[in-house]
Structures are given as C-alpha cells and as structure tokens.
Amino acid sequence: MILGLSEWSNYKERLEALFHDSFGKSIDPAYFDWRYINNHKEQLLFSLEVDAQTVAASYSAFPVDLECDGEVVRTALSMTTMTHPEWRGKGLFPKLATELYSESKGKIAAVWGFPNANSHSTFINKLEWSDIYEIPTMALDLAKVQGGNFQDNYFIKRDDDFLEEYSHQHYDGLIRVYKSREYLRWRYAENPVNSYENHVISEGGIVSSYVVTKAFGRSIDVVDMCFSNASEAKALLSHIIKKSVSDELVSINCWMPTHHWSHAILERLGFTNVAPITYFAGRKLNPEKLPEHWASYRGWYLQMGDSDVY
C-alpha cells in the first residue's frame, strides 16, 4: 500500500517498531516526523507491506528539489528500506520500490541516492537504476598540518540557526540540491538526531559562502560547502582546519567532485582521497524533465549532507 499524509499518524509507531525489529536499535521518536512530515515538502513517498495490523516492510523516498542553471525540478532521494526479520527473503524491497516508483512517476522526475553494499545490486539489477559514480571521501590528516600555511583573511562567524539570507543561485551548469534558507534550516538546525555548526562569510546579512560541519568521534565531517569564490573558500577551509587542530581532532572528511574548482583548493590544503567509497546512482522516471547530463557525475555537485547518512 502507498501511505498517504492523512494516514501517517496511524502508522508512525508501527514504523518505529519496524525500525527496531529491522536494525536492532531504537530510533529517536522525533526523527520520522522531521524527515517525512515537518519538511516543508507536503509530499509523502512511502510504500508499506502490511499483514493484518503488522507492518512487515517499508520502502520510502524523500522529495528533493534539484537546481540546474536556475531551473528547479522535483526528484526524490531513496531512503532506508526496513524489513521485519520474519519477512526477509520474500522480495519485498523491490516490490515496494516498484510500487512507489509507479505511483510517483507523475510527481517526481527521478529517484536517486547512495545505495549501500547490501542494496546496490538490487537497485541496479531489479529496479532499473544506473550507476553514476563511486564517490571517494576526501580526508585531511591533521597530524600533517603545518599551522603557518593557513590564513584567515575574512571575518568568519557562526550562523547555526540559519538566520541570515541564503538567496544566491548557481549558474555553473551543475546539478545540485536546491538549498534555500528554509531547506538549510530544516536539514541542519532542526535535525533532531545530529548537531551541526555553520561557519559563514556574510555582508549585510547575506551569506556569500558557508561551511557546515558535524562532529564524528575525533574527526569532523564537512557535510556542506558553498563558496562564492576561491578566496572565501580558502579562508573558510583554513578556519575549519585551524579550529580542528586547536580542538585536537585527528582528521577532516568531505566530498568534493574533481570537476569543481574547490577540489584543487582542498588538494593544496592537503586533502587526499580515502575510503569509504560511496555508490551514487539513480533512475529516471520522467527523462524529459531532467538535464541532458543527468547520468554523468561531471554534471553534479554533491555534498555529504545531500545523503541521509551524515
């Protein structure tokens, strides 16, 4: 069955129980509402296998607007599949995904995401997804950092609640998640399970460049980067590096495509490619609504925060 917004409250607790049965741990009660309901999208993409009153399995996606040269297209990010242990091995994952794609075809142009090693082959072989790239992690070993190499030439401040304006658009031809201030605030400031820091360069209340970070043990993940120019990019990254050294962290991790000019700056600062490698793939549902370079990673600008993992 396809779960509608009006039915959400009837199934939320059962979905939380299914999460526990599927993964052997509990989920924060606020997470599902934040992710699927309180996201300003007014669209629920959820398919369920129900046996009597028991939810045996679920597959879901999250509505995501993509931007390319000022045009905005509604797509969906594939989310976690949950299956009760007693129902595994019955093909419910591809069944539910197929049902959801069929139901959603008129509402979204494509579904895409970051399959893990367990689900990747099913997406490719049974759900008509196509691989786009295998994204390497870029990492900086802070033990190798020379403090004198990093200079801050700008006033950098925190805007963790995203109260300033984030209204700039991108015209570099790359496909990226459309990140309005409302989206950024929802994704990072209102997240009920993770805490983020947002470091910005701004003037007159308008942010020109920002870096969002999340602590991960003795490392930090730079989950989102947006730069107006190379000078601001180097200043913000230098600020993050110096702060991390001061906090006695061991490494900084991020994603950055080689075809974006920011990649060269990261390399010069000492970042190198390391594991983990992340699959990036997708399936077109309405190809006519998508840019021609949809299937080429060189046409994308993706950040860790575009995944639901970080």
Q: Give 124's DSSP letter.
A: H
Lowest mean pLDDT among 65-69, 94-98, 115-119, 265-269: 65-69
pLDDT in tens, 54-89: 899 999 999 999 998 789 999 999 998 999 999 999
| pLDDT at position 72 | 94
Does residue 167 have a pLDDT over 80?
no
Instruction: List the Cα angle 198/307/62 in 5-degree steps.
Output: 110
How far apart, in whole angstroms, are the C-alpha atoms of residue 245 and residue 262? 21
Do 16 and 98 fall within a single domain? yes
Q: Cβ neighbours of residue 172 under 8 Å, at least 6 residues apart?
A: 301
Mean pLDDT of the chain: 95
How far apart, in whole angstroms, are the C-alpha atoms of residue 278 and residue 256? 12
Q: Which two tokens stand for residue 77?
A: 């990010």
Do 147 and 270 fall within a single domain? yes
Do 292 and 269 fall within a single domain? no
- Which CATH number goes with the domain that contains 48? 3.40.630.30
How far apart, in whole angstroms, are the C-alpha atoms of residue 256 and residue 224? 10
Omega into 276 within 30° of 0, i.e. cis? Answer: yes
Do 270 and 298 fall within a single domain? no
Do residues 34 and 24 make contact, with C-beta atoms less than 8 angstroms apart?
no
Do 167 and 121 fall within a single domain? no
pLDDT in tens, 14-38: 999 999 999 999 999 999 999 999 9
Do 268 and 298 fall within a single domain? no
Do residues 93 and 61 make contact, with C-beta atoms less than 8 angstroms apart?
no
In the chain, the number of structural domains is 2
How far apart, in whole angstroms, are the C-alpha atoms of residue 56 and residue 50? 6
| Chain-centroid distance, C-alpha 14 | 26
Do 111 and 164 fall within a single domain? no
Do 257 and 197 fall within a single domain? yes
| pLDDT at position 146 | 75
Q: Give 4's DSSP letter.
A: P
How far apart, in whole angstroms, are the C-alpha atoms of residue 296 and residue 87? 37
How far apart, in whole angstroms, are the C-alpha atoms of residue 151 and residue 168? 26
Does residue 289 have a pLDDT over 80?
yes
Do 63 and 188 fall within a single domain? no
Percent of the chain with pLDDT over 90: 92
The pLDDT of 248-266, averaged and rounded, is 98
Do 130 and 194 fall within a single domain? no
> Whose CA is closest to 57, among 46, 69, 66?
46
How far apart, in whole angstroms, are the C-alpha atoms of residue 79 and residue 129? 14
Do residues 99 and 91 make contact, with C-beta atoms less than 8 angstroms apart?
no
Compute the CA torsion angle 203, 204, 209, 215 (nearest 10 deg).
100
| pLDDT at position 70 | 82
* Structural domain boundaries, residue 24: 5-135+278-306
The pLDDT of 120-133, averaged and rounded, is 98
* Radius of gyration in angstroms for the set of CA atoms belonging to the chain, rounded to a whole number: 20
b/e burial code for range 5-31 (CB count within 10 A of at least 16 → b): eeebeebeeebbbbbebbeeeebeeee
Does residue 136 have a pLDDT over 80?
yes
Lowest mean pLDDT among 20-24, 27-31, 146-150, 178-182: 146-150
Query: What confidence tier does 229 reach under pLDDT thresholds 50, 70, 90?
Result: very high
| pLDDT at position 147 | 65
* Identity of residue 62: F
Do 213 and 284 fall within a single domain? no
Do 283 and 269 fall within a single domain? no
Does residue 149 have a pLDDT over 70?
no
